[in-house]
Amino acid sequence: MRELATIRSASVYRVADRLVLCPQLLTKAGFFLAGPPAAFDWPIGREAMIGAIEEALAASGRIMATPHRDAFDFGPVVAAAGLKSHKAFMARAVLVDVTLEKDILHVLPMVNHGARRGFEGSGEERRFEADDLEGAVDHLLALLENASTEVDLG
């Protein structure tokens, strides 16, 4: 768990003309859950995205009590995207994970398998030095701009 506590992670969702960023908070049980989301209009400027990523990664440093399984609630993320249901969210969402581990920023686009199967790493991770947040954000913005909203149900 000590090694996990040094990892900072944020999930960046694009849903049509909305962008939702969530810090990933480590639970005492050793897994990550989405923290309070922040929503922005899409497209977002480079400087605004840099600030939002910095804020989300900083917030990710908190360790939270492990909630009861019934309390795992993705509703705030869905609401931040301006939608009413998880199914509608998953039908449109693009996700890129940004993780800071030691001195490396990892930018990983995810494959959307729909509401039943969720997201899975694409295997197309790019790595950046921690002091190259601008380069990581440029790559992130390009991924979000060019991402397909097609859901892979296969």
* Whole-number average pLDDT of the chain: 91
**Position 126 in a domain:** yes
Q: How far does the chain reach from its first CA to its final CA, in angstroms?
A: 34
**Position 108 in a domain:** yes
Q: Are strands 119-121 and 126-129 parallel, antiparallel or unpaired?
A: unpaired
d(CA 130, CA 128): 6
Residue 41 in tokens: 């209009």
**Position 153 in a domain:** no
**Position 70 in a domain:** yes
Q: Which residue has the higher pLDDT, 13 or 67?
A: 13
The count of domains in the chain is: 1
Per-residue pLDDT at 4: 66
Please state at what angle helix 46-59 crosses helix 133-146, rounded to 10 degrees.
Answer: 110
Per-residue pLDDT at 62: 83
What are 74-83's pLDDT values in tens digits?
899 999 999 9
Residue 148 CB partners (closer than 8 Å, separation 6+)? 94
If pLDDT is split at 50, 70 and 90, which confidence band does 11 have? very high
Q: What is the DSSP string of 31-67?
A: -EEE---EEEESS--HHHHHHHHHHHHHHTT-EEPPP
Q: How big is the chain, counted in residues? A: 154
pLDDT at 9 over 70: yes
The residues that bridge with 142 in the sheet, in sequence order, are none
Domain encompassing residue 81: 4-146
Q: Give this prediction's pTM.
A: 0.91
Give the CATH number of the domain where residue 17 resides: 3.40.1590.10
**Position 154 in a domain:** no
